[in-house]
Structure 1
């Protein structure tokens, strides 16, 4: 059984270690996409202006910017991680924190599944490209479709096995793409789980505003900027390159502010360092990713800082602060093209006939406005209202994870959600045969 996780033989009673391999997968993308015309973003002021236009009720900015359509084709690389039992950015599913205590992959491996986690096209270690007219949702769905075909055909690199059953687990934008995949190629998947999602897009403008968008290359210059920024930062006084700690950074801030007559205690200095954009800049000095700077174009955007991260993704106090700061250090950007095509042109329904689950945190801000049970007099819950979109599904379930915001995998009870997902597949005949 293969789980393809889009930032998968059940042998009950046995515990398994995992063997994981990082793989670069060549895919041929074929997608009809929009052509958008917006002025090049050159500063964080431009990013804020884009957010104002995108969220304005005065006009539909997507329609304003759209000038036509084109078919995007060509070979690109998708970064993936394949994991199997020993007798799966993609790291969202296998978080390297607390000895992988928040890892969905580990939970799936323990149930005997194999997994493939992918960096969506244009993000992480996958091929990058024009963030406006290349890296869009249709191209990303096309890449996932090609990878799924490889898994079924036994042509996935380094994995000469034909998987008879393949299911897809998406999160947030990955869930939108999973829905699109099931609509465009319903035969491709045997079951889908959409996490951090509902069919209600009411709060998209609130989310974009809460992000306080910045250019990714300015927000974390040592990860997303160019090599000049890296060299300058590593040569700065007091920097210790990859060994510089957040404590050292906090001390530096204290000293710098003291020279101009601003005295902060250690907690205040930490707040200034860790919870503002300054923390993102210093994160680069710590070089958590260990990879070369990506030198991303200015059409790659990200939220401003850790407080924006908490507003959109986390529900206090039900998460580990250290993990939240780790998530901020390792966050990935979003492109202009992705924002324009989040679900643009998506059909109202899919003909997919397999089992479907929607699993969303009760306090999800992005897809539930902060309470997935707040349906007024309609009853049920907000994610359950997506059921009419799957008229042919053999099973439809909506599960609300308690004490959890949008980023399910970063909360204390994440492993409980993982068990719900894997048990859903097993109970619907999608375990190993």
Structure 2
């Protein structure tokens, strides 16, 4: 484990761009140090679609009952009765940024960033205190290009029934974007020489699923807000409590309400958000900004994510697994033991390099944690050395 002192130094390797911090807002702002282009991605995918096996929730009492069932010690919830092949076309909204100031040929390495549940792509490109909390800006400072996008059902991407938003189509859409970047399709005509999949939370699960199915898709894999506990680790049981930690409610019932069907849920309020994504002492303005960019999550994408197994994979690129020290959602609140006894070495036994990092004092939403630039610096240092 790298010492906090050394980690601090690593986090400041890249030059700091002095830009005025923006107030929290609901707009999408490009980093000032990037040459950015917005894309509408239209792709057709064939995927394994889960057939919903439970009664569709009608109100928040049904959601409360589901939370209890999922979190019970003897939980035997079977959300899907089976799976069938489906072929569907979707539109996603994404942004490609390359650095204004080039650093050799590093800009030909593209970081393909997939956000997790609860947010849209602004998780990667905060307009609030961007010098502290903007992952894309930091990557651009370090010379890398970034493609980040709103997952299906979030932000400016296509809104479909939440019963059709699942891990299967997320993984296939992610693979299509990566394949397009190889050809310059979503990168202003410039073909990516190297690709690093960077995920957060659910986005990490989908990135993991993509390299499992398509091992040649990327040279690097960075899983944030993630851990791989072993089969006997009590943290596995805590994951069933995640909807309870977040006080999950129907997205159509929160204030302001979302125009979504009953498969979409949202964090119940800012306090549930703080408890599940942050760690005390809380920086309230930062949490308020994060709350302003929250998005609904499909129950089915959460429940189908369990189909992405921790079994050994053939992927032979470089792998980094990282999260906050006190990540409730990935670790049950204490990540050091999850990493000490985790399955990362066996799961990624064929990887060129395996690295772990735990960011001190942080919760699940590490991009908004204290010292986030140190966290970003760890990731960029890994990419620079091993990808």
TM-score (structure 1 length as normaliser): 0.74
Supply the distance in 1 between the matched residues of 2:359 and 2:16 (Cα, whole angstroms).
27
Instruction: Answer with 187-196 or 29-38: which moved more.
Output: 29-38
3-state SS, counterpart of residue 351 of structure 1 = coil
Whether the 8 Å CA contact 2:326–2:335 is kept in 1: the answer is: yes
**Residue 321 of structure 2 corresponds to residue 362 of structure 1:** no
* Partner residue in 2 for 1:298: 262
Instruction: Answer with 17-26 or 402-411: which moved more.
Output: 17-26
Q: How many residues align?
A: 338
1:381 to 314, 324, 340: 340
**Residue 67 of structure 2 corresponds to residue 66 of structure 1:** no
2:162 to 125, 131, 148: 131
Render the CA deviation track for 1:15-74: whole Å, top value 9, x for unaligned.
68212222211111221121113222221112112212222344421x2x4222111212
* Partner residue in 1 for 2:280: 316
Supply the distance in 2 between the matched residues of 1:149 and 1:165 (Cα, whole angstroms).
11
**Residue 59 of structure 2 corresponds to residue 30 of structure 1:** no
User: What is the CA distance between 1:79 and its match in structure 2?
Assistant: 1.3
Supply the distance in 2 between the matched residues of 1:83 and 1:185 (Cα, whole angstroms).
25
3-state SS, counterpart of residue 84 of structure 2 = strand
Instruction: Answer with 22-31 or 81-90: which moved more.
Output: 81-90
CA RMSD of aligned residues (A): 2.1
Change in CA separation of 1:417 and 1:393 when aligned onto 2, cut-off 3 Å: same
Q: How does 1:207-218 map to 2 (within 5 A)?
A: 207-218=242-253
Whether the 8 Å CA contact 2:205–2:308 is kept in 1: the answer is: no
User: What is the CA distance between 1:161 and its match in structure 2?
Assistant: 1.2
User: What is the CA distance between 1:385 and its match in structure 2?
Assistant: 3.7
3-state SS, counterpart of residue 133 of structure 2 = coil
Q: How does 1:71-220 map to 2 (within 5 A)?
A: 71-87=85-101, 89-99=120-130, 101-132=132-163, 134-156=164-186, 159-200=188-229, 201-220=236-255
Whether the 8 Å CA contact 2:122–2:293 is kept in 1: the answer is: no
Render the CA deviation track for 1:88-126: whole Å, top value 9, x for unaligned.
811101111024531001110001111011111222221
**Residue 180 of structure 2 corresponds to residue 221 of structure 1:** no
User: What is the CA distance between 1:320 and its match in structure 2?
Assistant: 2.2
- Gaps of at least 5 residues in structure 2 are 1-12, 18-31, 102-112, 114-119, 230-235
* Partner residue in 2 for 1:397: 355
**Residue 55 of structure 2 corresponds to residue 42 of structure 1:** no
3-state SS, counterpart of residue 85 of structure 2 = strand
Change in CA separation of 1:14 and 1:39 when aligned onto 2, cut-off 3 Å: closer
TM-score (structure 2 length as normaliser): 0.82
Q: Return structure 1 stretches of 4+ with deviation > 6 angstroms.
A: 11-16
Structure having the higher Rg: 1
Instruction: Answer with 188-197 or 358-367: which moved more.
Output: 358-367
Instruction: Answer with 321-330 or 38-47: which moved more.
Output: 38-47
Whether the 8 Å CA contact 2:202–2:302 is kept in 1: the answer is: no
3-state SS, counterpart of residue 342 of structure 1 = helix
User: What is the CA distance between 1:315 and its match in structure 2?
Assistant: 0.6
Whether the 8 Å CA contact 1:51–1:209 is kept in 2: the answer is: yes
